[in-house]
Amino acid sequence: MGRGDGTGRIVSRPDADDTGTGILHVDMDAFFASVAVLDDPSLAGKPLIIGGSEGRGVVSSASYEARRYGVKSAMPVAIALRLCPTAIVVNPPYHRYTEMSRQVMAIFHDVTPLVEPLSIDEAFLDVRGARRLWGSPGTIARDLRARVKAETGLTCSIGVAATKHVAKMASTISKPDGLLIVAAADTEKFLRPRSVRALWGVGPKAAEALESRGIRLISDILDTPRHALDQVLGTAMGERIWHLSRGIDAREVHTGRSEKSVGHEETFHSDISDTRTLHVELRRLADRVGARLRAQQYEASTISIKVRFSDFTTLSRSRTLTEPTSVGQRIGDAAIELFDSIDRRQAVRLVGVRGEKLKPAAMAATLWDDDAEWRRVEGALDGAAARFGRGAVTRGSLLGPSRGGGALPTNPRPSYDH
């Protein structure tokens, strides 16, 4: 979900100059909310919240009408409804989002094979090689917006520029349902008046560090010596910001995108203090992460956890493994060790487990594989899940004290219930 609420959008004139451009960033407008309206047209023009309507649900997305009240993603639905009491909470089945995403991405691929999806509802397109077939980048973008609307009923916003970074900034500024073209020669003029927070990759902490020193606009970055940026942000980030503020971005559109991490998290209906119950939940999430890694043929080098307490304080911890893994048992062991290292003085509202720094799965087993037994069992479970559905087979320890017994020892011959 974008930061903006649609106010102050900037769009290009029909005759806008697109000289030197060739990169498009296409972003669907309030995608989840728009799919809900597509399925139920009576919701059009109303403030919508996409998220769980019961208990401890959080906002996944919201319509622009709801965003203008301050509703944001990851916000508890209860707080969102206090900000916007007239909002309607809806939650279409997830398969509708993936179905519509496939349709949209298919249209993108009709224009150019050089498509780099960033998420379910946005992508970069390199159209420099499509000019002879479809026209200039500006023409391609206008035709693409019209085709997406005609074939799916959804609207999108497109930024057209010479680089990925500027194209992404332009699409954000043009939302919703807009097109903003930044000719190569106009790049610095476009960037100068923007907030440092608009730079792709500048998070809240980096922005605060810059703003505390009076560097609030990109023009301020341009007027700041490079060594001063390095002192504020560190050498790597200082170099990156120095280049991006000048419109320098050598990144190409990559069609072979792979996930940088795989994770799952759970918000509880009621805050939980019991350690064993939390261990069980971490183990369950770890198994889901492992299954996804195996399905995508990746292994995680780093395991991280996220813990949110009853007062909304959120902590994260991570550790690098001696060997990458996709084994749920090993991921769960690491997650529980990280969790137990936290000084907990409050009940827990949310926990999450994530595998990071992914690498392609090893083609051959090593001579000594401590996880060999678990690999065989979890591989068999993957097959059972494919045949009978996820959840048909689970650990006995996840079924609760009355059925599952205690926690599994470190390296037993694993036992599962069907």
**How many Å apart are CA 45 and CA 385, to the nearest integer?**
41
Structure tokens at 267: 């918000």
Nearest to 129 by CA among 115, 143, 118: 115
- C-alpha gyration radius of the chain: 24
Q: Give 393's DSSP letter.
A: S
213 to 227, 233, 240: CA distances (angstroms): 14, 11, 18
65, 116, 122, 299: the catalytic one is 122
Q: How far does the chain reach from its first CA to its final CA, in angstroms?
A: 39
Structure tokens at 115: 């498509």
Whether 239 sits among the annotated catalytic residues: the reply is: no
Q: Is 249 annotated as a binding residue?
A: no
**How many Å apart are CA 43 and CA 55, to the nearest integer?**
23
Q: Is 121 annotated as a binding residue?
A: yes
For 99-216, strand residue ranges (E) read: 115-119, 122-126, 156-161, 179-181
DSSP letter for each residue of 51-119: E--STT-BEEEE-HHHHTTT--TTSBHHHHHHH-TT-EEE---HHHHHHHHHHHHHHHHHH-S-EEEEE
Q: Give 322's DSSP letter.
A: E
197 to 30, 124, 154, 221: CA distances (angstroms): 21, 21, 28, 12
Catalytically annotated residues: 122
Q: Which residues are annotated as a binding site for Mg(2+)?
A: 27, 121
Q: Which residues are annotated as a binding site?
A: 27, 121
